């Protein structure tokens, strides 16, 4: 069966019901890696999200406890725990959004790419299960190295005949969250008013914040300030890894960022207009097949991948500098998916 026919068949098989209390569509969100450092606070935030009616918490260990705990919170989302591969089918079936923070985090001195050997296999197996049990779900990939794990999932979905580029997202929201915080602090503007697009990928120099497009605009920042803000945003993950001194990487800020992005996906699915977030998606914005930029979200996931807008000379240089590393991370993911 052609991928498009398979998708419509699956769509026909699914009944969309609406909550009798809120009138919102019933939405199931699954978190894979739900007992981890990100998974637990993310599960909490999704339990608090009024758009979620069913919350599926999957991990290889620990989910009965997390689910029992979360399920006592008096919000509408029905939380259920699933543990081990034989429960993965039930965990995934009927999911509208699948969030993946499964895998190992960095320790000081490691790059995100150093996680590839372990996380690539984890992500590949989870993607195989998603293709089988919920091929229509929007997939929010958090597991690092995101620059490679997203292409891995894409290849798995292609092989399974379920790939829809509109439904696969690398979560780069934490880069945006950091850029907003650091900009607000330096420019001395209220952080809740700030917006900063971050493009490229999610590792080191592939993270390219576009402070020239930051709002509210300010001329209080020198070129040196912008350079320092850019470097701090690019090194934000490492700053946390070093501060945690061997006890993992960003979990709380990532859970917040993951919840913001999942909420945007749910709003898009529900037909809320003008939902725009930065995300690492299949793209024609540059010559690279995957690239993070502003994305408009809609009823089918990506509605439009937005362009980069006008860049400063410094940003143009950053863009050229990141392409080599991003290209090889993408190729590494594709190769792994096809050879393993």
**Pairing, β 54-59 against β 28-32:** parallel
Q: Which is nearer to ligand LMR, 131 or 142 (CB)?
A: 142
3-state helix, strand, coil in the chain (%, to 5): 50, 20, 35
- The encoded tokens of residue 189 equal 């503007």
Does position 106 interact with ligand LMR (CB under 6 A)? The reply is yes
Q: Which of 31, 70, 91, 122 is the binder for ligand NAD (CB under 6 A)?
A: 122
Q: Which of 171, 179, 221, 265 is the binder for ligand NAD (CB under 6 A)?
A: 171
27 annotated to a ligand binding site: no
Between 127 and 166, how does the x/- string for binding to ligand LMR read (CB under 6 A)?
-----------------x----------------------
Catalytic, 202? Answer yes
Q: Is 298 helix (H, G, I), strand (E, B) or coil?
A: strand
Helices (H), the chain: 3-13, 39-47, 63-71, 88-92, 116-133, 146-160, 173-187, 223-234, 236-244, 252-269, 313-339
240 binding partner (options ligand LMR, ligand NAD, none; Cβ < 5 to 8 Å by kind): ligand LMR
Q: Which is nearer to ligand NAD, 7 or 232 (CB)?
A: 232
CA distances from 83 to 91, 133, 142, 185 (A): 9, 16, 20, 42
Q: Which of 36, 151, 197, 201 is the binder for ligand NAD (CB under 6 A)?
A: 36
CB of 38 to ligand NAD, least distance (A): 3
27 burial via Cβ count (<10 Å: 0-12, 13-18, 19+): buried
Catalytic residue among 202, 232, 294, 327: 202
- Asked if residue 316 has a cis previous peptide bond (ω within 30° of 0), the answer is no
Between 239 and 278, how does the x/- string for binding to ligand NAD read (CB under 6 A)?
---------xxxx--x------------------------
User: What is Dmax (Cα atoms) for the chain?
Assistant: 58
Spatial CB neighbours of 317, under 8 Å, sequence gap ≥ 6: none
Does position 112 interact with ligand LMR (CB under 6 A)? The reply is yes
- The catalytic site residues sit at 202
Annotated binding site: 33-39, 59, 106, 112, 119, 142-144, 178, 254
Annotated binding site for NAD(+): 33-39, 59, 119, 142-144, 254
């Amino acid at each position: 069966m052609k991928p498009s026919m398979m998708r419509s068949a699956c769509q026909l098989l699914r009944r969309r019901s609406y909550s009798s209390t809120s009138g919102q569509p019933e939405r199931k969100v699954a978190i894979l890696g739900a007992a981890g450092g990100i998974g637990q606070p993310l599960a909490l935030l999704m339990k608090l999200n009024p758009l979620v009616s069913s919350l599926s918490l999957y991990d290889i260990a620990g989910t009965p406890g997390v689910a029992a705990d979360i399920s006592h919170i008096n919000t509408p989302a029905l939380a259920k725990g699933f543990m081990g591969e034989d429960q993965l089918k039930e965990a995934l079936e009927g999911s509208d959004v699948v969030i993946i923070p499964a895998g190992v985090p960095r320790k000081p001195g490691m790059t995100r790419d150093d996680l590839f050997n372990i996380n690539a296999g984890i992500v590949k197996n989870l993607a195989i299960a998603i293709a089988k049990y919920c091929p229509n779900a929007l997939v929010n990939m958090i597991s690092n190295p995101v620059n490679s794990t997203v292409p891995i999932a894409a290849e798995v979905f292609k092989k399974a005949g379920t790939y829809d580029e509109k439904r696969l997202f690398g979560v780069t929201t934490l880069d945006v969250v950091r850029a907003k915080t650091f900009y607000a602090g330096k420019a001395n503007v209220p952080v809740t008013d700030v917006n900063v697009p971050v493009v490229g990928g999610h590792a080191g120099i592939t993270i390219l914040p576009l402070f020239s497009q930051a709002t509210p605009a300010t001329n209080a920042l020198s070129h040196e300030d912008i350079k320092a803000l850019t470097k701090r945003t690019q090194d934000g993950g490492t700053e946390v890894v070093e501060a945690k001194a061997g006890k993992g990487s960003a979990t709380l800020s990532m859970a917040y960022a993951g919840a913001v992005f999942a909420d945007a996906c749910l709003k898009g699915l529900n037909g809320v207009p003008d939902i725009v977030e930065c995300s690492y998606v299949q793209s024609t914005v540059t010559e690279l097949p995957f690239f993070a930029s502003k994305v408009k979200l809609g009823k089918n996931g990506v509605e439009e991948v937005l362009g980069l807008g006008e860049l400063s000379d410094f940003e143009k240089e950053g863009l050229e500098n990141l392409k080599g590393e991003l290209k090889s991370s993408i190729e590494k993911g594709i190769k792994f998916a096809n050879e393993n």
